[in-house]
Structure formats: C-alpha cells, structure tokens
Amino acid sequence: MCGIVGTLRGREGPPPDEGLLRRMLGIIRHRGPDEFGIYLDDRAGIGSARLSIVDLETGQQPIPNEDESLWIVFNGEIYNHPELREGLERAGHRFRTRSDTEVILHLYEELGPECLHHFNGQFAIAIWDTRRRELFLARDRLGIRPIFYIPLPGGLAFASEIKALLLIPGVEARLDPYALAQAFTFWAPLAPRTAFEEVRELPPGHYLRASEDAFPLTRYWSLTFPPAGEELGLTEDEAAEELRALLGDATRLRLRADVPVGSYLSGGLDSTLVAALARQHIPQTLCTFSIAFEEAAFDEREYQETATAFLGTDHRRTECTNADIGRVFPQVVWHAEAPLLRTAPAPFYLLSRLVRQSGIKVVLTGEGADEFLGGYSIFQEDKVRRFWAANPDSALRPLLLQRLHPYVAGLAQTGDGFLRAFFGQDLLPTDRPGYSHLLRWRNGARLRRFFSPALSGLLGEYDPVEEFLSALDGALLRWSPLAQAQYLEVTTFLSPYLLSSQGDRVAMAHSVEGRFPFLDHRVVEFCNRLPPQFKLRVLREKHILRKSARGLVPPSVWQRRKQPYRAPIVPAFLSRPPDYVEALLSPEAIQAAGVFDPQSVLRLARKCRSGSHISEPEEMALVGIISTQLLHHLFIERFPPAPIGEIAPLRVYRGRTPYSTAV
C-alpha cells in the first residue's frame, strides 16, 4: 500500500518540479512512511510513498519495465500477482523485483488497459509511457483505493489524497457548492465530484489516459445484475457451499503478504466469518481488533468476547469514549477531506491506531457483505413498503415496520403513527427509479435548510437526486427490487463514503491497509446473480451467508440480528465541548465560512445543549456542520499546515539515469 502523486506537463507549462513532488509526498507520508521514490523527465513526474507489505527488499517504486519506456507508481494490492507473473515470464518478460507492482507494469505492456480485467485486487495505478507521452490512471472496480486529479493550465496532476493537489502553485482550495449539496443528501460527494472545486475523483471501475491536454475517461467495469427471474438456478445448499468456497479463497488470497495480517472483529456475522476463514490459513495465532463504547447502546463487546473465545484469537480492543470522538474528529476530517454526517469514522481512526501500535500493517475486514447480501435495513424497508403499496389500505401490512429498527432508542415509543407517516411518503410509485432510497435521500436533503441564503441561491434548483437518477442505465428497472436497491447502496454509499471516509482514509492515517474478502470481484459477481430470496428471506437479512457460516462461527453470532455500526454524536461534541467546537459554531466563524446560516446553526446548537430530544436528522446536521466548518478551517483558512513531513530515504530517477539521495 502506498500514496502516489504525479504531474503531467501539457503543450505548455513548466517542466515537472522535483521540489513540488517532494512536498506532495511529504503531506501524504502517512500513507507510506517506509520509503519514497520519484521519477522525472521533461514531461512527467511521478512519486510514491511506500508502505512495504509485499517484496520488502526490492519492491521500491517507481519501477520501470525492461527498456525503461514505462514507469509505474501503484497504491494497492494485486492478490493474484504470482499466477499472473508465471504467464508473463513464459511470454518472455524479465522481472527485477518480486512485487505485484511490476506484474501490473508488464501486463499493461502486454495488454494495455485490458490488463485491468485480469487483476484480483484493490488498486490505484499510474503508468507513464515515455514513448507515447501518455499518462495512464486506473482505479479498482469498487473504488477501494482513491485517486484524485486536477486539470491544470499546463497539464494535469494526480494524487492519492486531495491535500497533495492543493500544494500546487495556483491551485486555490474552494468548497464546491454542488458537492456540498450531494454530501448533505447522499452523505458524500459522488465521483467525479469532490468537496473541492476543480479537483476530480477518478470514479470506481474507470481509467483515464492523459495525453497533451486531453483526459478522456473510460469505464472498464460496471456493477450489474441479471433481469428479475433470470438469477442463478441453484439450490440454497449449493449456493451456500459455493459462497463459502469463494469467500474462503478470497480470504486466502488476501493473506498474501510479507508482513503479519490481522483482522477486525466487531462481533457481527461478517467480520467474525472473515476472521474464522483467515484462522484456517494462519497456523499461528490470529490477531483481532475491535472497538468498545462507553455507551451501552453502541457497545458490542459481549459478542466480540464470544467470537474471540470461539476462534481462539489474540484479541485487542480500543475503548472509545464520547470525549475521544470529539477529540480526534479534526484529524478525521483532515484525512477524510469531505463533509461527514456521522461520527462513525472517528472510532475506526482510533482502531487503526491500535492496529499500528500492535505492529500490524494489514487487517482483513467485513465490509461489502451487507451491500451484496442484503444486510441493511433499507432493503427491508423497501420490501415492506412495496408489500404495503400493493394494498395501501391495509391496516396490518404497515405493522411490519415496527420490526425493522429495534436498535434505535425511543423509536418504539413514538407509536405506529410516526412509522406510517414517515414510510408512507410516496408509497405508490414503486416503479420509480430510486424508490428504495428516496426517503433516505429526502431525509438527507432536509439538512440543506441550514445552508446560508447565499449558498442556497447559488444552488438554485439543483437537485442531486434528479441528477444522479437521470444518469442511470435503463437496465436498472429490469432487475429485481432488491437488486435495484443494492445498486443504489453501492453507488451512493459503499464507494463514496464507507470505503473512503470510514475505510481507506482513517486506516491509512495510521499506515494500515484494509483488505476486503467480500469485495473480491468474483464474490461480488456471484452474489449479484443469486435470487433475492437467498439474500433477504422474508425480513431476515443475509440468509444465505448465515447458512454458509454455520460451524465456522458461534451460533449466537450467525443467528444474531444485525446491529448497524453507529457512534455517538451529540455527547461527543457538546457534553464537554472541545475548544474547536465552540469556535467553529460561533456566528462569526459560520459567517466567515459562508456555507451555513448563523441563526439556524445557533438554534440547533442551543437545542442540542438543552437536553431536549434530538432527531436523527438534527444529529446529522450537527456533525455535518462541524465537519464542513473543519474543512473550511483546515483546507482554506490554514492550509498548508507546517511543517510538512520529511521524506527519507528518497530515490530519484531522471529520465533513464537513476541516482539516489538521502534527504
């Protein structure tokens, strides 16, 4: 795992600046503190901050091909690189290293962009072709690893994190109003848009070929499902057996490393099953990690202890207090580089710190199971609403809604009337694209009432939902309702938020690489072909996964009803407010940033401090306002921070002549 950066000179503009590349690597050195490398010629400069995991001795980047006409920097892992290497060696390619990075380069040399279809992994790739004077950027299928770029008057620049691009002379950080509208609807900006104007994110499953001043984007992989009724014709037992085998092999591949591999273990089905599958391949004790909370409503340590006792792992746990969340939240926003409508990334930031302090660089984790096997309550809500819509006058059908959110404190006391009113909105147009998610998105959009008049006026009639839905493939409505909902969840939540702010960014803040067996593309494509009733049996989520997990995890875990991962919000910021909260929520600070209306924010803060009941949208608004104010403070008012981290040792290559320097 690494951080990568680069600049490309267009027809005009200055040649690549070694000093700039050093500073860009320095500001993201947390992604790869082990060693650094730069390649420069008259047209391009690329650099790497390396986290050494595979081929510790000879895998330094950048890496050239045999005649040094191609140079690569790479962030990620290609898990099937030994098998790919065998074929390349038979084809006559000569290797200088044992790294997966060099395998990418030679396969690109052989196949061009078609090589991407052969990779089982998570990746952000940059290859400079010195002969064609072309820069190739590519991102993995689901967007596990990030890559950002910005067109410049004299060319293009790219980096693993936005902060590196903001160091470029002439690039001015400005919050993108349309990205803010997206974030306060979907919980995150949707690629290619980012929180900052002009900075773009390479979308998942895409590559870019930059030559001169043209930067065309190409999609090479799409998330897809079969038409309703044309799913796989397997029995449940056959499907459970194949899923178990695929997950087992995906986990085996993700244990390939030249350093120890640990595993997150929340106490839920997904992470416990991943740890169990990893335990089959690791003869020594597997090290597992979890989060515990001071508030019982969020704490799962009872299930964690059951799981670790059953598996016999070496377990470590971080105790996360409300004050801890408030204390580290500015660092979390610094790494997330986007507005946050949840505090959930903060405990993961603390957890990854524990992993690193334990001497572990790599952890397995269970993300993806809920999205691809029907684990979220939004899928259950959609099913109940469609069932209700078929007989909208029924008094019994909406009663099913009472079964969906037992973990939400106080919801049962609100009465059936609240549930009917909320979930009964726009009940009947079930053939409308986005039906499953419209209530959630509408709930998010309510937060935009806190926007300042100036921002609201600038946005005008802009509707993020309409923009997103209008770009959807017409095939969506031919899929089952569950498949439609899964597609929307992956596209608007998994890739832009869960794998980013709650995944890569907080883990790599402490130089920890997450690996995701459920996101192996073979697992994803198999799950997508399964009949919907294998995933959501009546209202029981992840039915086929529970069947696959029997015997591998404790019955109390595989039979357990899902408890979504959540973290405290209001107590983290306002019980004993950190100094920055009062400062950022002051009318003066709100006015200066220009995003929110000072009086609306003042009323919200007073209500949160009063001890009155705070609704979920109000909690989301509070954390969204604080995180956006932090973005403005960290990236606009006080950027860049000083000092930027030193990078040493550093290897520098100029054209075809390599030399080394120690910095």
Decide: 240 and 37 in contact? Cβ < 8 Å.
Answer: no
Mean pLDDT of the chain: 93
pLDDT at 663 over 90: no
Segment 38-51 mean pLDDT: 96
**pLDDT tens digits, residue range 333-359?**
999 999 999 999 999 999 999 999 999
Contacts of 169 (CB under 8 A, 6+ apart): 20
Residues found in the chain: 663
Longest CA–CA span in the chain (Å) reads 78
pLDDT at 491 over 60: yes
**pLDDT for the residue 662:** 39
**pLDDT for the residue 13:** 76
**pLDDT for the residue 448:** 95
Q: How confident is the model at residue 659 (pLDDT cuts 50, 70, 90)?
A: very low
Positive or negative CA dihedral for 564, 570, 576, 577?
positive
Query: Nearest CA to 352 among 546, 184, 508?
Result: 508
In whole angstroms, what separates CA 184 from the centre of its chain? 17
Tokens coding 347 = 């405990």
**pLDDT for the residue 413:** 54
**pLDDT for the residue 414:** 56
Peptide bond into 649 cis (omega under 30): yes
Q: How confident is the model at residue 658 (pLDDT cuts 50, 70, 90)?
A: very low
pLDDT at 660 over 50: no
**pLDDT tens digits, residue range 588-621?**
999 999 999 999 999 999 999 988 888 989 999 9
**pLDDT tens digits, residue range 383-395?**
999 999 999 989 8
pLDDT at 271 over 70: yes
Contacts of 94 (CB under 8 A, 6+ apart): 66
pLDDT at 54 over 50: yes
- CA dist list (Å): 635 to 418, 639, 640: 41, 5, 7
Residue 638's CB is within 10 A of a number of other CB atoms, namely: 10
**pLDDT for the residue 613:** 87
Segment 86-115 mean pLDDT: 96
- DSSP state, residue 159: E
Q: Enumerate the H helices of 464-570 as residue ranges.
A: 464-470, 481-489, 505-508, 521-528, 532-535, 543-549, 555-558, 570
pLDDT at 647 over 90: no
Q: How confident is the model at residue 292 (pLDDT cuts 50, 70, 90)?
A: very high
**pLDDT for the residue 40:** 96
User: Who has greater pLDDT, 153 or 252?
Assistant: 252
Tokens 């690329």 belong to 46
Residue 590's CB is within 10 A of a number of other CB atoms, namely: 23
Segment 513-521 mean pLDDT: 98
**pLDDT for the residue 1:** 64
**pLDDT tens digits, residue range 421-461?**
889 899 989 999 999 999 999 988 899 999 999 999 999 99
Percent of the chain whose pLDDT exceeds 90: 82
**pLDDT tens digits, residue range 159-213?**
999 999 999 999 999 999 999 999 999 999 999 999 999 999 999 999 999 987 6
- pTM given for the model: 0.95
- Report how far residue 25's alpha carbon sits from residue 47's, in angstroms, rounded to the nearest whole number: 7
**pLDDT for the residue 407:** 52
DSSP labels for 49-103? EE---SSTTT--SSEE-TTSSEEEEEEEEETTHHHHHHHHHHTT---S-S-HHHH
Q: For the chain, which domains are there?
A: 2-174+199-221+645-661 (3.60.20.10)
Contacts of 322 (CB under 8 A, 6+ apart): 294, 295, 568, 571, 572, 575
Percent of the chain whose pLDDT exceeds 70: 97
The catalytic site residues sit at: 2
User: Who has greater pLDDT, 403 or 405?
Assistant: 403
Q: Which of 117-121, 507-511, 560-564 has the lowest mean pLDDT?
A: 560-564
Q: How confident is the model at residue 656 (pLDDT cuts 50, 70, 90)?
A: low
**pLDDT for the residue 56:** 85
